[in-house]
Structure 1
């Protein structure tokens, strides 16, 4: 009988306990995968949203700890537009605000001549006109969540607006946002002549060296820095904290799974004292005895991973039903983050089985056989 068949037989003899422990490990794996995927999806979702709107570089305040807290003078746009290789510049003011008094939405304001308005995919209605006061465009997701259509009204910061269009963006973030004229948003947010960031569209086929030169020149302007849109949240404090918390909680969850394995195998060793004594008496070495117990822990870890992977995908599908954030972000575990999590789970299960394995290997055959 080899180690695999022995370990499998021992686990099958206690099928209920094995199933419960495997499921607890599976929950730990699903939780770890979901938390890591959620943190990763925040940065990926924002980058996809900005990229969908056609920007190449994003200019932020160097003093800003996150994308909502930095403010830049609106007249900086002229300096940015004069840089060689820059095709267009669009100022953007972002804010998270109450809508209709009971829902929170991300609002963004664009100038009337912004290239974002020209590229907006309008499903119905139109973009706000230059003389059309208090008009907003809803992303399709925001329209669905708010139960609004073209012609309806909504209150934003106690100011009444009318829905003039519905935008059919593809990214979850863009679909969840509300778009309005920059001047009107500056008025209700008390941010006159200020924007949160500038989005830059570069000339086509611009070489990497020229792009780096533009970034360097922007870095010398008024405490600003430029970053590619796909790295927009690289320095965001809130995202860094979220990633640190998600990884810490993931490690705790996986450790709890390892402790479940330790407890289960420790009980199994106590129940199989005489069996272990017989194996030692017929010539099994301490190393082989330990290996058989550790292999049981590894098999439990593998079973937990088989349970945890589909469970984490099920959690990601249910995420969209969470209020307030489910319609802003979408996430699912990616192939790149799955192997490290699974390896960590199996390794912790193996570590959890070391003490029971040591206990089993430390028993002398005579002492083990005397026990009832």
Structure 2
């Protein structure tokens, strides 16, 4: 079998997500399994080129994983004709400019979200990539999680009948950084650096809702900063200028209503860090990252409200586990494989910069809705 190398400039892999999910659990995992079998007698072998600003951190990463190539010179990497793909997982505020440079250099590109800080910038990136004829993809990892794949199976099988509502809960307590180290970098809480939970999470909710249930047609959001003072990586206090909680209501094409709470200031009392409950005329389901449980109309109990008696119904035990019916690989790795096939074989690929722009648009409208205190329509995206 012939082996074909694909050189990928990876910008931002010294960060938590870029390192763990994209480098180690995706591309290095692909290398360890012998590459990606394209099914035509060719194996695609990823060759990461690490890119970043901190020379010592890049050198340490490269040494740890036996990688030969790393650089702090983004322009030189983009000018290198042997580099096929540019990947970006930098801080949000630096992403749009780097993606523009990659498009101008004729590189295929794959990027974390949000793709830009404003919807006009995100739309412009999609237009530029289309005009340049480069292939482009945006990370939409939650679609590849076992729990949501099982939920999609129920939707596609007509299990719910007419879907009435979706309720989502996401979040956990991110420590302030004074007496326990914060689990997220401090830029997440600085609006001037592209931080904020709306900018971070509403793009996720756009593609989850769009892919599973239908296009978002309106948004109404309440946004706040519950923890106004935090401590950074050096132990220095700073004022949080970005939102850390958002409470959104989204109307969907077809009439269903979604309510999703997103918070970095909530303590977890649920089975997983994110859960969605879907209720329909014929059945309901609750899906998290890995599990999905369902209850059909015919098996729905008949609760009676009586506050004077202890509740004896074992509600959780009355739901049925949706089986795996297959093997689920790491969601980031699964999407990387699809994008690499798209680049190598020109297979269809839906999660592009236009999809990324829809997520930025929803975040922008969510923030505007909160500022104006009203519900806003979400128009179909035009590039």
Q: TM-score range by the shorter chain?
A: under 0.3
Task: Pick the structure with greater CA Rg.
Answer: 1
Higher percent of residues as strand: 2
Higher relative contact order (CA 8 A, sep 6+): 1
Structure with bigger helix share is 1
